[in-house]
Every structure is written in structure tokens, then in C-alpha cells.
Chains A and B, each alone.
Chain A
């Protein structure tokens, strides 16, 4: 499977715990995006990487959230001191400059439940 993969697919955690999600983009894609989606809503942009550089962060991304893409390949999204309001689907997407850069390919998402 050469699509975007995310791990884990589901995560249940207690309030106050830290969680980390991983995203593996399509191998030749140099752009990577994180979104958050709650039930009945469209995805909300969180952050964007071009190669290893984090170029944009949404105002939605509080200080408890941090994302990395250390070698310009996979990315991690960490949420510290989780709150119930963090419960959502976290989606990763990737795209490739030139040609079809505007098409974003989404992974299956990680569903986070904070109890």
C-alpha cells in the first residue's frame, strides 16, 4: 500500500496523559499536513511541513500540541496533558510540489478519545 498511513488508528487515553500519533506520507511527497476533524464538521487545519520545515501553524494549535518531521519523511503529532476537548479524528495528508501539488492525499486518521 503506497498511500498515507497513520498509527494508531484509535487511541483512548485519560485526561492529562500525553499521546503521540505518527503519519507516514506517500514517499515522494515533500509536503505534509495535519488536520483535526470532529463529528459533523470538516477537517480543520493544524499545521504544515515542507520537507522537515514546519512552515505554518494554526491558531488552533495550542502550546500543548507539537508536531515534528525530523527527516522530512514521517511526522509525529504530540498532545500533552490531553483534555476532553481534544477528542477528535486527527488526519494527516501529503502532497507533492509540481503537477498535482494541490491534491492532498489523506490518511485514514487516528481517532482520539479522551476520557
Chain B
């Protein structure tokens, strides 16, 4: 069956350190992968997109890698701050016949950055 797995446990790190979140998937061949941030009681906010033919993408303190052989994406936040505390969701878009516009989300990883 198709599955997306993110860090199963919540992640606590010290301010200033690099947070690394993992997204693994099975039985998918995604066209691209996205990362979203979600704060409690709010909708997800788009952060980064990486395509299947890209290895790495950066945006300010954020970096995403995408290994289609390992079927894994890593999401890094460098110089983490308490304001980075949130749930981070990875989402895959799979291109199939028809107009498959849906995103398939993982269950998210709750990150807490401790001051």
C-alpha cells in the first residue's frame, strides 16, 4: 500500500541548532514534494517545493533534499529559533492519468525549539 511517514516522534531541539525532519514514502513515484508548516488551529502554510529531478532546494534558513532512490526527503532548519516551533508536513503530488491535482500529506512532525 502507499504510505508517507514522517518522524514518528515529536522533535525537541535547542535554539541555534539545526533541525532535521524526515519524510519517507513507499509505493509512490511523486512528481514533486512540498513542505508545509502548520501552527495550532491554523491551516498549513507552503514553505518549499522540490521536483523529482532536483536534489536540493534552499530558502533562507530552510533546506530540502529529495532522494528518489531512497524515497526520502529531508527538511533542515538551520539556526533554529523558538518561533520555528510548529508542525511540519510533507506532501507529495503524484501525476497520474487524468487531472490528479491532489496532494497526499504525511501526518506531520511536531517541532519544538527550546530557548
Contacts and interface: CB of A to CB of B under 8 A. Distances in A.
Interface of A: 4, 31, 33, 40-45, 48, 50, 55-56, 58, 91, 93, 102-109
A10 to B, nearest CB: 10
A104 B36 CA distance: 10
Given A43-B103, A44-B105, A108-B42, 4 more contacts: A48-B102, A56-B98, A58-B102, A103-B46
A31 B43 contact: no
20 contacts: A4-B43, A31-B101, A41-B107, A41-B108, A42-B91, A43-B44, A43-B103, A43-B105, A50-B99, A55-B101, A58-B102, A91-B43, A103-B34, A103-B49, A104-B103, A106-B36, A107-B43, A108-B42, A109-B42, A109-B43
Nearest to A4: B43
Interface of B: 4, 32, 34, 36, 41-46, 49, 89, 91, 93, 98-108
Contact of B102 (A41, A50, A56): A56
A44 B106 CA distance: 9
A40 B108 CA distance: 8
Query: Across chains A and B, which 4 residue pairs bring their CB atoms closest together, nearest first?
Result: A42-B105, A106-B43, A45-B102, A103-B46
A45 B101 CA distance: 10
- Most A-side CB within 10 Å, residue of B34, B99, B103, B104: B103
A103 B45 CA distance: 9
Given A33-B102, A42-B91, A56-B100, A104 B46 contact: yes
